[in-house]
Structure 1
Amino acid sequence: MNWLKKFKDRLTGLTDAISRFPLTTLFLLAAAVVNAYSISTEKADTKLLLTFILGAFLSAVAQVSYERFFSKYSSRLALMGAAIILTGGYYLIVRPAPNLSTEIEIRTVVAMFALLWAFIWVPVAKSNTSFDKSFMITFKSFFISLFFSSIIYGGISIILVAFNELIFKIEYTAYPHTANLIFILFAPLYFLSLIPDYSRAKDDTVDQAAHCPTFLRILLSYIFIPLVAMFTLILVLYIFKNITGAFWDDNLLEPMLVSYAITVILLYILVSELENKFTVLFRKVFPKVLIPIVLFQVASSVISLNESGVTHTRYYVILFGVFAIIAGVLLSFLPVRKNGILAALLIIFSAISIVPPVDAFTISRNSQVATLEDELLKYDMLENNKIKPNDSVSEKDRKIITNTVQYLDRMGYTKEIAWLPRNFDVYKDFYDTFGFHEYQESGDENQPVYLTMEPSMPINIEGFDRFIQMDLYPFDNDGKQKINDFEKAGKTYTLVTDTKGKRIDLKLVGEDSQELIRFNTQEIFDKFYHYNATKGTITAEEATFTKENRRAKLTIVVQNVSIEKQANQNNAGIFVFIQIK
């Protein structure tokens, strides 16, 4: 009956977590309801879902803050009220936006990241329980709750599959609904049930909860630490080998070094209370090794700002680099019981990165606009607050202008720049605005281009006499081929293709074989040849080509186009609209 007792204890832990974190439970329940509605209707309300998840984080931090620093019930109500107000304020900020931009998403994630560290640090701040124990408890609780939740979801999914195959068909939404209840509602509550109330829990209870299992101790001490040591040696050798050249230009190394710094700091915290030769040596040596490695990378990132300006990703790389250097210095001299200062620093740095005017997005926007403006002024391309096209821009500066414009467009900042054309489209208007095509990295210029017209785009057919759908592809032989003929006012007209080598002309002829109008389809491939290979779709306006004279009018609307640059093979699916005058 031991299993029954354990099950009862777990169930009691869940009910205790609900009573301990009532507001968090309500926010999680609301998030589950919103997500269930989205699953059923297939209409995602991401703003509301993120609001409730953020509210769950805020209310959890409010609860542990109450447990650590307050005792009166009125203080608990005040903290819960503050969490509700902050959650409501967040929703009022994001609600007017037409969609969740990258900026909003990153600000939200960083805020949740800071709240997570606050949840770990606040309950043990200035207490007898070390931050390292709180971190270990949180670390273990996360993976335990994830493990049990995954097992439960897998079991229920198997039951649903069996029921669907053997009894009667069930809706496919049963699976996402199950995942919603387990991972949005059950898993967080089970996680919270494993977090002790440090202000009331006995020391032996906390020690037991923070105990590092044998498996994890072996994994950290005898596998992770040697692997990190080997990787560190490779990094040091690379830096010494390339210190006079490639290191300062290798931006691909940034994410690797950031990951390395994160790994070293987290591993240091996890092994802070483990005593063996590997962990002791790791704590003595690696914080000191971390400092010069990250210092070199921060210097490299700062140097690169001279050309490319600040982006939010580069901002976070440099900011985290500064944090990692400070952390390395502190870990080199402070005792392990002071590791909680790292959490406080992370919270401060996170707040700096999302609160104007020194946040990642204000600084990156101003920097990128200034970089673009400097490049345009260098070539006298800004005149009367308007851009003047110039095809004599150097390849290096084309790259800078292209990257800057693409970044500003991706972040939704182009609408705020007065000297850019109204409703500027980076793919459609780039050439006409700047006088040259978007810069492509070496090798990218040979990438194939595959484009389709955006779905559900209206096409004006008023005034046309005939509509023909056809494909354009290279013929084996030169010559003419009839596509379609039709009558109007007792006269017969014929649309033919006139092929000469790679050139295919669309030609409209009358009864006496008189040519009325001709369109060179190479114009289609010439227009889209330099389009970015990742664009994917084009608007109806981009897809439309018109040729007109006093006898007839041809309008060609491209449905899809394929340009194989290396094979020199082009084809397209088109609509041809014909008007006889």
Structure 2
Amino acid sequence: MKSLSIQQLSDGLYKGITRFPLAILSAIQFTFLVIYGIEADIDPGIWYLRGVHGAQLGIPLFIALTFFAESKNYNPIKKIGVKFGGVALLLLYLLTLPETLTFINFSRFVLLTLFAHLLVFIAPSLHKGYELHFWVLAKEIILTFIECVFYAFVIGFGIFVAISAVHFLFDININNKRYPEVMSFCLIFLTTIFFAGRMQGVNSKQNMVFDYPEILKNFTQFILIPLVLLYLIILYIYGGQILMNQDWPKGWVSYLSIGFSVLGIVSIILIYPVRNDENNKWIPLFNKGFLYTLFPIIFLFCAAIWRRISEYGITENRYYLIALGVWLFFISVYTLIKRDHFIKMIPMSLSVVCILSAFGPLSAFNVSKNSQLERLNDYATSNNWLDEDGYWDTSNEKKTPKEDVDQSRSIIKYLIKNHGYASIQPYLKDSIPDTLQGVDNKYAQSRTILQEMKLIQTSDYVKENRLNFYTTHQGVDIKGYSKYFTKEAQYLKRNGDKAISISKADPVINLFIENGATKLGTLIIGDQTYNIPFPDENEMLYKKKDFMMVYKSVNGIKNEEQNTTTLTAVTFTLFIK
């Protein structure tokens, strides 16, 4: 990379702003919303999340659209049309997001983020150019991004240390929120504007003469490839052991197979430009040998995944592993057929996988939901849990067989958590929204629906009583309180969570959950400590001189023999004077 003068830097920043205006506006919006969220300590609503997600997607999307327009040599009018077409698509997607976001929406966020970043590499290379052109451009994008992140991080870290110095040397009280706010500004806004100013223009006819970094060859030859060979030896020995013992492979082998495959493909990509050099005759041998050895690994990988699917069906995580296995197989075959013309296909095919996984009938969410519903239907049919009309028989408790009851409970909890209670509605005559009126917590929704379906706890839990308290608390007098914090904590028993962080500053507030007959836990506000009693169903409010705790929902397990109450989920609002 060429060195920069102050004049070149200022000229580059000016050209970057005029070249990537929408990407920089997205960075400004993203930075502002992140800092606002830190400063206000808010519970993110749908419009806040739409703004954050839209800005976060907008940065790579508008950079990609700029690259695409430049590679096509569009005139200014067409360039503007392409960019605002991207704005329209982004707004359409954001406005279709539901008021209450689910697991599916957040999973799509991740898939679309990966897709948008892949577009940065794909967009400028859609013309019928050389594969080497794509490699050079991708290298420039990655190295420029790493350089800009490094600059932004150093600036942020420097300001971080400066703020700390002012705080400790001059005894000036500085809010702890300043630190993440400064780092957010640097890593989001400065990285984007540095990249915009530093990234060279895209030209499909640019000169392909370049200096191949020797460090890439050394890194690949002496680090990546030995690691690939190490993984290969381990996986083949394990595969031989499986054949000898005639046993199914362990699920963990899937992740090792992924590591082996990814390292091998990255190695092939990094040494692609020098594969035909006279002094590098080992490279074509390695490429072909790796691809052929990859097929048995993919088979081992698929066998491990199939074992889990045959026992527990498809979930989103297993779907992604399946999709990755199919993609690896496709890339391996394509590379063997095309030989020197496969580089572009890697991000293109991966972007297609992202879109198919996020939307449509073949998406991770539809396939997983249908798989689990099919399992639930199998259990219901084999145990005669459905009446003549196909609805769930709620007249008798499903006490046996224990394994089928437990599996059905697990499926229903999964469906409600990931796909909402509407996925269970076809099995029940009564309207689930009516049954769940006033029950907002998903854990409590699962409990209520399971009770409705008579899928009771198995015998291990007979001596435990479930506590589910809910209230709307209309007309609570909040006059005189200056601050309030709303918190929702779930799965406290399962995850072993004990501390609920309510506020990290001004003052620091934490609630420490404790198991007992009457005590919910200990509330610490600054240097003051308060014992909080377990709420009563008829009294979902606890008031002291300096604060008031108003419960919306409380879920717990009461053990009659041990006289203890274990909190599993709680939603409350804490008002501070």
What is residue 521 of structure 1 aligned with on the other side? none
Amino acid at match of 2:40: T
Kept in 2, the 8 Å contact 1:164–1:170? The answer is yes
Deviation at 1:244, TM superposition (A): 6.9
What is residue 107 of structure 1 aligned with on the other side? 108
CA distance in 2 between partners of 1:57 and 1:63 (Å): 10
Is the counterpart of residue 405 in structure 1 residue 412 in structure 2? yes
Please, which runs of 5 or more residues in structure 2 have no aligned partner? 437-443, 475-492, 499-512, 521-533, 539-552, 568-577
What is residue 450 of structure 2 aligned with on the other side? 430
CA distance in 2 between partners of 1:257 and 1:405 (Å): 31
What is residue 198 of structure 1 aligned with on the other side? 202
Give the aligned CA root-mean-square deviation in angstroms.
3.8
CA distance in 1 between partners of 2:458 and 2:26 (Å): 46
What is residue 346 of structure 2 aligned with on the other side? 342
Report the TM-score, using the length of structure 2 for normalisation. 0.72
What is residue 287 of structure 2 aligned with on the other side? 283
Which of residues 378, 381, 384 is equivalent to 1:380?
384
What is residue 248 of structure 1 aligned with on the other side? 248
Identity %: 19
Distance change in 2, residues 1:559/1:341 (3 Å): closer
CA-to-aligned-CA distance 1:436-470 (integer Å, 9 cap, x gap): 42799xxxx9xxx9x999999979xxxxxxxxxxx
Kept in 2, the 8 Å contact 1:291–1:324? The answer is no
Deviation at 1:535, TM superposition (A): 8.7
Kept in 2, the 8 Å contact 1:438–1:532? The answer is no
What is residue 487 of structure 2 aligned with on the other side? none
Deviation at 1:164, TM superposition (A): 1.6
- What are the within-5 Å matches in structure 2 for residues 475-490 of structure 1? none
Which of residues 97, 103, 108 is equivalent to 2:99?
97
Kept in 1, the 8 Å contact 2:68–2:123? The answer is yes
Is the counterpart of residue 313 in structure 1 residue 313 in structure 2? no
Kept in 1, the 8 Å contact 2:399–2:458? The answer is no
CA distance in 2 between partners of 1:393 and 1:175 (Å): 57
Kept in 2, the 8 Å contact 1:427–1:535? The answer is no
What is residue 81 of structure 2 aligned with on the other side? 78
Kept in 1, the 8 Å contact 2:61–2:120? The answer is no
Kept in 2, the 8 Å contact 1:221–1:278? The answer is no
Distance change in 2, residues 1:391/1:452 (3 Å): closer
- Secondary structure of residue in 2 paired with 1:53: helix
Amino acid at match of 1:261: S
CA-to-aligned-CA distance 1:527-575 (integer Å, 9 cap, x gap): xxxx85669899x9x98699xxxxxxxxxx9998798xxxx9774599x
CA distance in 2 between partners of 1:160 and 1:407 (Å): 46
CA-to-aligned-CA distance 1:143-184 (integer Å, 9 cap, x gap): 222222221111110111111222322222221221121111
Distance change in 2, residues 1:392/1:249 (3 Å): farther
- Between 236-245 and 426-435, the greater mean CA deviation after superposition: 426-435
- Between 371-380 and 334-343, the greater mean CA deviation after superposition: 334-343
What is residue 371 of structure 2 aligned with on the other side? 367
- Secondary structure of residue in 1 paired with 2:96: helix
What is residue 20 of structure 2 aligned with on the other side? 21
Distance change in 2, residues 1:109/1:19 (3 Å): same
- What are the within-5 Å matches in structure 2 for residues 25-424 of structure 1? 25-43=24-42, 44=44, 45-94=48-97, 96-98=98-100, 100-125=101-126, 126-128=128-130, 129-167=132-170, 168-199=172-203, 202-203=206-207, 207=210, 211-212=212-213, 214-243=214-243, 248=248, 250-275=250-275, 276=280, 279-302=283-306, 304-383=308-387, 384=389, 385-388=391-394, 389-418=396-425, 419-420=427-428, 422-423=435-436
CA-to-aligned-CA distance 1:465-495 (integer Å, 9 cap, x gap): xxxxxxxxxxxxxxxxxxxxxxxxxxxxxxx
CA distance in 2 between partners of 1:172 and 1:201 (Å): 51
Distance change in 2, residues 1:361/1:246 (3 Å): farther
Q: How many residues align?
A: 473
